Amino acid sequence: MAELLSPEIKACIGQASPSIHVEVTRRDLRKYAVSTGQKAKKYLDGDVAPPLFHFGYAMEILPVDELRKDGIAEDKLIPELPLKRLMAGSSDTVYHRPIYAGDKLVVTRKLKDLYEKEGRTGPLIFVVTEVVVETEAGEPVLNETTSLIAR
């Protein structure tokens, strides 16, 4: 198999997006709970964040004209890859503690790894990112490792 990942592409491993600082409000938690069909009172009252609440906090908020045709923002953390079709791979989230109303959080996203494999129908590139969420005081809240597959 020919090497698809150039030294320039591999040099991007370890880079991080600028950290996003957010204050979680009870209203944020309640809106997310209602929109995702939560039933537990603690979520609907906005006391604690439902699972996956953090997902939207790792995304930039952009005007519609800056989004791709599919409505998603261009991912500036991932370098230009020789294989263009990106698919969801896996996601693994480790929760250190719940997210509460009033939390002041720092969300940082990092390119953790890029590697190649030969698939049944040809070469694949795996893109592994990590989102680290912690309080402004540095207390760990969660780590999420996600992979995308380019083919």
Question: Residue 2 falls within a domain, yes or no?
Answer: no
User: How much is the average pLDDT of 56-69?
Assistant: 79
Residue type, 143: N
Place of tokens 């795996």: 126
The reported pLDDT for the residue numbered 71 is 77
Show the domain range for 138. 7-150
Q: How many domains does the chain have?
A: 1
Q: How confident is the model at residue 1 (pLDDT cuts 50, 70, 90)?
A: low
C-alpha 15, offset from chain centre: 14
Q: Is residue 4 packed enough to be buried (19+ CB in 10 Å), middle (13-18) or exposed (0-12)?
A: middle
Mean pLDDT of the chain: 91
Distance separating alpha carbons of residues 60 and 75, to the nearest angstrom: 10
Question: Residue 1 falls within a domain, yes or no?
Answer: no
The CATH number of the domain holding residue 30 is: 3.10.129.10
Per-residue pLDDT of 76-103, as tens digits, reads: 889 999 998 889 999 999 999 999 999 9
Contact 79, 7 (CB under 8 A): no
